[in-house]
Structures are given as C-alpha cells and as structure tokens.
Amino acid sequence: MNNNTSNQNMVTPSPSIAASAEPPKTKRLYQVWPGNNKFLCGGRLVFGHDASSLFLTSFLIGGPAITFCIKMLVALKHGHPIASQPILIGAAVLTILDFIFLFLTSGRDPGIIPRNSRPPEDEAFDLSTPYLDWMSNKTPNVKIPRIKDVKVNGMTVKVKFCDTCLLYRPPRASHCSICNNCVQKFDHHCPWVGQCIGLRNYPFFILFISSSTLLCLYVFSFSWVNLVRQKGSLWFAMSHDFISVALIVYCFIAIWFVGGLTVFHLYLISTNQTTYENFRYRYDRKENPYRKGLVSNFKELSCARIPTSLVNFREWVAEEDDYQDESYRTYNSEFDKGFVNPKQKFDMEMGTMYGKDSMRVPNILKDLDYSGIDDNLKKKVGAKDGTFDIFVLADQDLKYSQWKPKIAPNANIGEIGKL
C-alpha cells in the first residue's frame, strides 16, 4: 500500500524538461563561425569570402606559363637550337612554386583573432547611451568609439574596441569588412588570392608575388630570345611566331603590376609597415613605432617563426549555442547606433547616419510612445509650435512627468520601443 502511494506521489518530468536534459548536439566551430570565410577539408583549409577569384588568378598565371612550356617542349622535340631542357625545367619549377605560394597564401588562417561572446568586464558595466541616460534623468551622453592607449617601443599607440568581435584590437590588427574578422597585423584584403593578408600568411604572399614577377621575367626573356635567334629579320620572326609575340606583350603588361607590387612591399618590409598603416597612418611621414632598422626589419619577416593559429576551427561546439550571445548582439546593435564618429567618416562598425547637430539618435527612441505624457508638460518643455524634443525632457525633473517606462527584467532591448 505504501509503495503504491509513493508511486502515485512521484512526479513525472514533462517532455520539455526531459528534452532539455538531453546533451546538446555538437558541430565543428567552422560550421557555426560568424565570419564570411569558406572552409574545406573539415575546417583545415580557411579561405576568404571571395575565394572564387582563385580560378581567375590561376588562369592568368597558368595560361601563359603552360603555353610557354608546351612551345619549348615542341621545339625541343623538333631539335630547335633555342630549346633546351634547362629552360623547360626552369619554367616548370617557377610555375609550380608560384601555385604553391598562391595556395599557401589563400588557404590558411591569416591570423584571425577569436571573438568574444561578451565585451570586456570593465566595459560591460559602462554602457552610457542616450536612451538609458534619458530614462535616468541625465543629460544624454553620446560617446565616441572607445579607444585605449598602449605603449609600443616607448611610443603611444591607440587601439580601438571592435564592436563586431567585442574585443580591443591588438596593435597593428584591423577588422576586415569583407571576411568580417579581426586579423593580426592586417595588411590588406587581396582580391586576387581571395583572402586577408595578415601575420600568418604575409611571408607566403611575398613569395607569391615575387615568384610571379620572376616567372613573368623568365617567360618574357626567353620568348624574346626565341624571336631574336630566328633566321631573317625581327619583323619576319614576329610575323611567323605569334605565340612568342603574345607572350612578350602579356608578360610586359603583367610585370608592371606584379613587379610594381613586389617593389612596393619590399619598401614596406624595409620600413616595417603594412599596407593599411601606410595608407592610414602615413608612417613614412612620421615616426614609426615598429621600425627597427633595415636589416632587422627584413630579418623579422624572413627568420621569425609563423605563430600557430589562435582559432581551432575543428573544435566541437554546442549546436544551439551561437558563437556570440544573440541577446547581447541585439543590445549591442542598438548600442552601436548611439556612437558618433569624430571624423564623421564611414566606418564598418559605426554606420553613417546622423541626426541634427551631428548627434546620432538611437532608433529605439524613435519608436517610443509618448501618448502617456501629460499634454501640459509637452507644451511647457516643447516649442511653441507643439513640437516635442526628447532631449529637452531629459533636463526636466521627473516630478513633472506622470509616465514611467515599464521594462521587464528580461525584456529584449530591441522591444523597448514597443512598450
């Protein structure tokens, strides 16, 4: 009897509770990564957002190189005096090396910095925004983007808080708007390799453009020799060897691009700059905190060990857990709209919409219902034409107002405007 009574008193868990007790399903990190990267081989290969441009780049490199090799192979088969095995082998080796460096540049992590699911703790409790200040009867305080000063080789360098990755970017890091990642020692996003160029793939990028330049010079030189050594005049040789003429013209044009790019990056290496720093901070016109001297600058690139990736894209994560907390992301999106850029220039994280007097007004204030506010108060604090300014009300004492916002403790910040 007692056993039956005890069995009746037992509480059977509801299906929802039982389901929640089940272990969450897991996925690889690369499958839920919020950036715009493309992954292959189970997250082992990390490509940029525009990785499809590799097909065009491969065609522009491989087309002329393979054409030259085939021409040399045919000439060698027919016993042509200008053809030799070393020339053919040299062209093949340069072409293979060029493709290897292209793949190593495009298919590896350029130095992606892991994102935070929450901002730094000291910043999480200092979110002073216009609508929160107004609710607490304070003068609206519109902040500029948060910046910290750090010392690098005795010089002050400013680091900026990334509102997308929720972290302070390390010195020389920047956020790529195409791949949507913060990258260590960000140089630029190269559309030809379809990848960001950063700390972990910059050496391979230098080898790629250098080998491309050498390949162009190689094909150009031996194609010209092929014309000169033929019998008859130069014009006669050109009229009977269209392939060599086409290769000469193509390589002459390509050398101006890849050769000029190689020389430019050799200059950047000698001064220890990145492309981003050269265009943004103009370190060639002022003191560079990273410059160590010509020899040390080249040694830093050629002898330094490539650091390991900061992100393990193959690690297991819970399937229902987003990489960033969705509730904070909604809040943070409204929070970002309260910033004012001091230069009033386009910024990926900040946007470009401004209100009057260059003040950014959050969208949340535009959706508030003011019907509960006393009409006499509107006439008192507003203009004579009946207009109502939310920032005028912020300077008044709360005792004049009969309306108080009712916000649930767990309410989504995006729903406040609907109250």
Give the residue numbers annotated as catalytic, written as ranges: 190
Among residues 359, 409, 352, the alpha carbon closest in space to that of 129 is found at 359
Instruction: Go through 338-355 and write b for each residue having 16 or more CB atoms within 10 A of its CB, e for each that does not.
Output: bbbbeeeeebebbeeeee
Beta strands in 325-413 (DSSP E): none
414, 402 Cβ separation under 8 angstroms: no
313, 43 Cβ separation under 8 angstroms: yes
CA-based radius of gyration for the chain: 31
Bridge partners of residue 196, in order along the sequence:
189
One DSSP character per residue, 14-70 reads: PHHHHHHHSPPPEEEHHHH--SS-EEETTTTEEE-TTTTHHHHHHHHHHHHHHHHHH
The Cβ-side half-sphere exposure at 161, using a 13 Å CA radius, reads: 19
Amino acid occupying residue 196: C
Distance CA 411, CA 419 (A): 10
Amino acid occupying residue 227: L
Question: 219: helix, coil or strand?
Answer: helix
Residues 6+ apart with CB under 8 A from 168: 120, 148, 159, 160, 161, 162
